[in-house]
Structure 1
Amino acid sequence: MFQTDLIEKCRNNDRKAQWVLYRKYCDAMFCVAKRYLPNREDAEDAVQESFIRVFRKLHQYREEVAFGAWLKRIVINYCLDKIKLEKEKLLSLDEIYPQPVEDDPGGWMVDDHVRPKMVIRAMEQLPDSCRYVVMLFLLEGYDHEEIAQIMGITEVNSRTLLFRGKKKLKELLTAKTV
């Protein structure tokens, strides 16, 4: 109930409520932005700009999904738009581990010698389109329908890019050239 009341106050331009909502989510959204943008300042800007978008478009939030999920999607979209415009490299993802993929009959298994930093370096070597789909699927937990909407591609294309990205990651990690 508190969340609903807070959002309603924000819709009515209550600055104190907006500050409370911002403080509640800013750290988590900063972590999301840091996964996509190369430095702290860019990630901070992404969070600020995303919250500006949120407060301007809060009337569009229909509570069909959790507010945090809606906000996270806005932050990710902002980051991807920024990357597309500036063609920047992704930053390191120091504490992220890939999750198993259900639709992969071989599973997402790598040798014991593979460390998170190796996976990060390998992900940075993927082509942009594959890298973003791999990140959205494995790290953010989006399904192909959501990835297709976020990236502006078809679900089939999302599946294809994920398959290619995972295949390339496995090659890079197996070759130990990371």
Structure 2
Amino acid sequence: MEAVFVDKHYQLVVECKQGSKKACYELYKLYSKAMLNIAFRIVGNLAEAEDILQEAFTDAFNRLKDFRQETTFGLWLKQIVVHRSINLLRKRKLDLVEIEDGHLDDIANEEPWNDDDIQHKVAQIKDAMKELPDGYRVVLSLYLLEGYDHEEIGQVLGINENTSRTQFLRAKRKLNEILIRKGITR
């Protein structure tokens, strides 16, 4: 069944490359909701996420001739959405703090989160994440929700890997404070 799914998406991409507006619209319908969610989790504003979505699809369709299908269309589009979202945050003057050497001990001694607890309270945590500063929310979203590792986050944001780890740890602490304040404990 999955092969049919992949073949359908592949066929739609081929038809889009040939100029089919209908195929472009079908791809939009297939991916728009997921891509909007990704943009929203990063920028924290629905109107801005909708703008990013439209710009990402426009960019993808304009660059479709360059898409070599070495990856899936969805993954390629996701990368465009993530980059556009981060660029928007940079325009907001995203303030990521470079770590100092002494902070590496804090990272090594940090207690990991329990993934089961996170999954159990996803809705409450996503709501609390909206209160995080942009830099914290971006790193936390990219790491926990989008599956990027700290090296990839560093490359995407133009920071070093340790800065990503530090932002992640600070975001976790801040998020925990918000959850405790709201009466939602780990």
Equivalent residue, structure 2, for 1:24:
30
Q: Which residue of 2 is the match for residue 157 of structure 1?
A: 163
- Asked if the contact 1:37–1:79 (Cα under 8 Å) also holds between the matched residues in 2, the reply is no
TM-score, normalization by structure 1: 0.71
Cα-to-partner distance string for 1:133-171 (whole Å, 9 max, x where unaligned):
011111222122321232122223222221222233334
Maintained 8 Å contact 2:89/2:134: no
What aligned pairs does 1:80-159 form with structure 2 within 5 A after superposition?
80-86=86-92, 106-109=111-114, 119-120=125-126, 122-159=128-165
Percent of residue pairs bearing the same amino acid type: 39
CA distance in 1, matches of 2:25, 2:109: 43
One-letter amino acid of the structure 2 residue matched with residue 131 of structure 1: R
**TM-score normalised by L of structure 2:** 0.69
User: Unaligned regions of 5+ residues in structure 1, if any?
Assistant: 89-102
Secondary structure of the residue aligned to 1:43 is helix
- The total of aligned residue pairs comes to 162
User: Does the C-alpha gap of structure 1 residues 118 and 75 become closer, same or farther in structure 2, counting only changes over 3 Å?
Assistant: same
Write the distance in 1 (CA, Å) between the matches of 2:78 and 2:18.
22
SS in 2 for 1:157: helix
SS of residue paired to 1:162: helix
Q: 1:117 to 1:22 in 2, by over 3 A?
A: closer
Shift of residue 34, structure 1, vs aligned partner = 2.7
How far does residue 75 in structure 1 lie from its aligned partner after superposition?
1.3
> Could you list the runs of 5+ residues in structure 2 that have no partner in the other structure?
1-6, 95-107
- Aligned AA (1:13): G
- Alpha-carbon shift at residue 37 of structure 1 (Å): 4.0
Higher relative contact order (CA 8 A, sep 6+): 2
Please say if 1:46 is aligned against 2:77.
no
